[in-house]
Amino acid sequence: MVRLQKVQRNAILKAVTAGELDANECTFYYDDGASRVTHEPSKSYVLLVNDSERYIASALVGEGPPSPAEACTWITVEDRVRRWAEEVKRDVDTPDLWADLLAARGSRLIEGVPGRAENSPFTPAEQEQLRVSIVQIHDYVLSAFELSGEQRSDIEGKLDYLITASKRVGRIDWKNIAVSVLVSTAVEVARDPAQLNAFLNFCATALADLVMHLPQLPIR
């Protein structure tokens, strides 16, 4: 086993930078048998074990499972480190929409809603009002987000289900179903927390007069 030479250690640093990962957030350990780059904020790492004339590379990115070990020559080591850095950068830059959503729990779209405590059925007039509100939410989704055909079909099915459910379940049960449907829709279509919050605010406004009675979320 041979310790990495200075030019090789420098090449690893350049590969991390080429992957657009902040090298200041990384630590580098090496000895005669192995070397390891760790992205400290996420605890992601790439490990290179020196096995005679080749290197055995394994890596961890974010919350994913460790990648299978793969044999590399030095020529391919730099590329493997760069790909790892790109994957970590992408993982770090991806917002955790659920975490952002839970951080905004001041909205009663997630928490219980005071008001009518009885689980009484909606009147025909209320059912029609809900239908109009759901149509408004449907139009908002189509205009505000870029959707694939599959996403559009899935969301339209969910919103149609809310309209149908208003005719057969009580208002408390319907609210619980609506919260689940609207939150899952927001997480599916929103690209960032601001979009997510804006969509939930629109839903809260569209439904407020009938079942929600909710304050809006701050848009960040």
What is the per-residue pLDDT across 159-171, written as a single tens digit (0 to 9) for each?
A: 999 999 999 999 8
Q: Which of 76-80, 83-87, 97-101 comes out lowest in average pLDDT?
A: 97-101
Q: Looking at residue 168, what is its pLDDT? A: 92
Please determine, for residue 101, whether its predicted confidence score (pLDDT) is greater than 80.
no
Other Cβ atoms closer than 10 A to 32: 10
What is the per-residue pLDDT across 189-206, written as a single tens digit (0 to 9) for each?
A: 888 878 888 888 888 888
Please determine, for residue 212, whether its predicted confidence score (pLDDT) is greater than 70.
no
> What does the alpha-carbon distance between residue 42 and residue 49 come to, in Å, rounded to a whole number?
22
> What does the alpha-carbon distance between residue 137 and residue 131 come to, in Å, rounded to a whole number?
10
Q: What is the mean pLDDT of residues 108-116?
A: 46
Sign of torsion, CA 21 27 29 34? negative
Please give the mean pLDDT across all residues of the chain. 84
Q: Looking at residue 214, what is its pLDDT? A: 40
**pLDDT band per the 50, 70, 90 thresholds, residue 211:** low
Tell me the DSSP string of 124-166: HHHHHHHHHHHHHHHHHHHHHS---HHHHHHHHHHHHHHHHHT
Q: What is the mean pLDDT of residues 77-96?
A: 91
**pLDDT band per the 50, 70, 90 thresholds, residue 46:** very high
Q: Looking at residue 158, what is its pLDDT? A: 93
Question: What is the spatial order of strands in the sheet that 34-39 belongs to?
Answer: 26-30, 34-39, 44-51, 54-60, 70-72
